[in-house]
Amino acid sequence: MKTIIRRARIEDLETILEIVNNAILNTTAIYDYDVRTLNEQISWFQEKEKLDFPVIVATDENDKVQGFGTYGTFRMKIGYKFTVEHSVYVKEGFSGKGIGKAILLELIALAKAQKLHVMVGCIDAENTGSIEFHEKFGFKKAGVLKETGYKFGKWLDLQFVQLII
């Protein structure tokens, strides 16, 4: 099965929303509690476009979205303008097929093209799979913020990883 990476389009947002809402409801990959609406996802997409931050999707040969990735503002102060926080999500049932790898490699290439300096990932510290995944691409652990998140009835530690581009 061939994975195709392309810029997301408005018609991809329903599948992106499905992926996001699954992560909200079933994982600690997103520290939100409430699922998002399609209108919220459209606003998110439009804001990314306005700020020139990419939203990319991985599809199969039939153009079915299997995952997505993006990056955006790390912190609002101007001194952080060369640093972005990224996200990579793969649709349930499609992990381990190289989709996340393809998405992350494209995000890194896009960040280089935009002359960014650092990509940051914020990962639930218990998600060792995601941490190890990022380390394969040169990301380094950059600190843990203890008990900064709360979800599913417990305090969560946040592991920062970073890649100097």
Q: What are the residue boundaries of the structural domains of the chain, listed by start?
A: 4-164
What is the per-residue pLDDT across 31-53, written as a single tens digit (0 to 9) for each? 999 999 999 999 999 999 999 99
Inter-residue contact 84 to 116 (CB < 8 Å):
yes
Does domain 4-164 fall under CATH 3.40.50.300? My reply is no
What's the whole-model pTM score?
A: 0.95
Q: What's the count of helices (H) and strands (E) in the chain, helices before strands?
A: 4, 7
pLDDT value at residue 156: 98
What is the per-residue pLDDT across 120-144, written as a single tens digit (0 to 9) for each? 999 999 999 999 999 999 999 999 9
